[in-house]
Amino acid sequence: MRILSYIFILFLLISSFACGTQKITTGESQQGKQEQSAGEVVLSEDKKIEFEYLFIEGLKQKMLGNNDAAVQYFNGCIDINPNSAASLHELAKIYISKGEIVSAKLLLEKAIQFEPGNKWYKLLLARIYQNNNEYTKASQIYTELLENAPGNVDYLYRKAVLMASSDKPTEAIEAYNDLERVMGYSEQIALARQNLYLQMGQEKKAFAEVQTLIDTYPDVPEYYGVMADMYKETGKMEKALEYYNKVLEMDPSNGFVHFSLASFYLQNTNVEEGYKHARKGFSNPDVELETKIQLYLMLVNAPEDIRIEDEKLETLINLIVETHPADARSYSIYADYLMQNDRKPEARDYMLKALKVNPDNYPVWEQLVMLDSEMQDFDEMAEHSKEAMKLFPSQPLIYVLNAVANIQLENYEEALSTLENGQLYVADNKRMEAQFELYRAEAYYNLDNKEKAFSSFEKVIDIDPENFMAMNNYAYYLSVLGVELEKAEKLSSMVIQVNPKNATYLDTHAWVLFQKGEYRLAKFYMDTAMENGGDESVEVVEHYGDIYYKLNEVENALKYWKQSLEMGNESPVLKRKIEEKKYIEGEE
């Protein structure tokens, strides 16, 4: 077998490495024993053979991907020779692959105790330390490695980076200096030192580093830009502008300098110049989208004195779309802008464009369906949520939104089917479970299955005692049927105590009182509802007329019934009320 043959050859190559410091006792002299180091383990011939067998089997199982079996074999090696650095190293690599980093770290630290000169063990441990943000420990390892390889560029560079990450800028600069002595002068080293000097508050040295870069590479415009940024950050605006203009002179097509200049002029409240450069930067397709987004967000959140007009802001967004048409974020940014300006139909168009480019963006789908709901376009809401369910079948909220759309479209059976299909993904999310039950209740009620509807409402309130929509709707349906009015009043009272200015909830409470014959008190709550936006609801206005009728104020009753009709209320019962000039019972 090919794999086994390979492993046999591998065994011949590594057997002495695997056994580490093992000694065979047969025929060993006393003098030989005295020469053993303190960490050596003396093995008999049989134990040595057993060890080698286990080690090779461990390697084989590891190569075959059977990590659990490999761990058992390497543990067997350690039982025979606790000081086997090679076995500890192999175990550490397996634990790294399993994500058990703490165990891997302990194993490697122990392996290095037994073989302190093994650079591979140290490099792997340094990587673990670095990933674990233990930068000082990682840099110490590179210091040790450099003792045996003082000119190793990789070690010098990593040590410098780790020293900087350890918040030891002086030591980091020394490390970069050591690296420079080996590599020679370079941009990367100079810029790294410049940043470290700035961290230390040594501005003169930071400026000197950049000046050396400019002197060494006078034809590279980016270094003049770095100098300009430093002057701007230290408040030396005239010098900053001088260097920014130098960049433009050297490279007129440099889009990035326009962003720097836009920021510069805005910071100095010169909005017109800031916008001019922003527009040039946004129109440059070579500038990354992230840079444009960053400046756009700065402009959106800018203080009043440096804020640009909406028309100009929209021009910049259009430039983003024009220069990055293949990036869905361009359309999402435009959609957000349009939403903030209450241009919902246009916002929806751009959300759809974003999804055409990247249909796998769930948050945009959710935002789209929510927007459909706000626009009360329930046909589109049903269609879009259906598409989202196919793409993201494990997202429970999208099932709820589809059910809401179908309830609004009077597709009650389909709503129940959707909720049933999505129930699997609710898991232990209690609030989501309450939403599922709430819309089951609505669907059942409209299918005239009052028993199941009220059972679902009870479940919602049991799961989420602060679900005021469920409590309100439950109370309203009870009042419409004229049953359990005391319970309905109790539920409705709890709702308006927490939501004293919600017109819908106030209307429900008034209607419960109406059904109980408490018309004067019902009018009190309905007055409050009308003052808080209820006068825009055809249902609330009709109820207001009903209450006036019961208070024997027929003219006022007719006034509000007619107002409800003019607002678009097409209820046949309402038309009869107006024609017959009297209140007529009928399910609302």
pLDDT tops 60 at residue 552: yes
User: pLDDT by residue (tens digit) across 420-429?
Assistant: 999 999 988 9
Closest CA to 156 of 143, 138, 170: 143
CA–CA dist 20, 12 (Å, integer): 14
Give the per-residue pLDDT at 512.
96
Look at residue 31 and tell me whether its pLDDT is greater than 70: no
Q: How far is CA 253 from the centre of its chain?
A: 35
Q: Rounded CA gap, 213 and 131, in Å?
A: 32
pLDDT score at 26: 29
pLDDT at 29: 33
Which run of H or of E encompasses 535?
none
User: What pLDDT was estimated at residue 40?
Assistant: 64
- Computed over every residue of the chain, the mean pLDDT equals 89
pLDDT of residue 570 exceeding 70: yes
State both tokens at 213: 């870069």
Distance of alpha carbon 140 from alpha carbon 144, whole angstroms: 6
> Using an 8 Å Cβ cutoff, are 292 and 320 in contact?
yes
Q: What mean pLDDT comes out for the span 265-269?
A: 85
- Name all domains of the chain by residue range, CATH numbers in brackets: 491-588 (1.25.40.10)
Is there a contact between 317 and 334 (Cβ–Cβ < 8 Å)? yes
The answer to whether residue 225 scores a pLDDT higher than 50 is yes
Does residue 456 contact residue 438 with C-beta atoms inside 8 Å? yes
| Residues 229/260, Cβ–Cβ less than 8 Å | yes
CB 111 within 8 A of CB 118: yes
Angstrom distance (rounded) from CA 40 to CA 22: 6
pLDDT digits (tens, 9 = 90+) for 175-224: 899 888 988 998 899 999 999 999 899 999 999 999 999 999 999 998 99
The tens digit of pLDDT for each residue in 413-461 reads: 999 999 999 999 998 899 999 999 999 999 999 999 999 999 999 999 9
Q: What is the mean pLDDT of residues 518-531?
A: 95
d(CA 439, CA 421): 14
Provide the residue count of the chain: 588
Rounded CA-CA distance 402/397 in Å is: 9
Kindly report, residue by residue over 231-245, the tens digit of the pLDDT: 988 888 889 889 988
Residue 41 binned pLDDT confidence (cut-offs 50, 70, 90)? confident
* CB-based contact 538:567 (threshold 8 Å): yes
The predicted pLDDT at position 30 comes to: 34
Q: Report the pLDDT averaged over residues 548-558.
A: 95
What DSSP string describes 344-372?
A: HHHHHHHHHHHHHH-TT-HHHHHHHHHHH
Instruction: Read off the pLDDT of residues 533-543 as tens digits, 9 standing for 90 and up.
Output: 999 999 999 99
The pLDDT assigned to 86 comes to: 92
Distance CA 230, CA 226 (A): 6
256/531: higher pLDDT? 531
Cβ–Cβ < 8 Å for 18, 50:
no
CA distance to 183, 373, 379, 416, 456, per residue, from 402 (Å) = 63, 10, 10, 10, 18
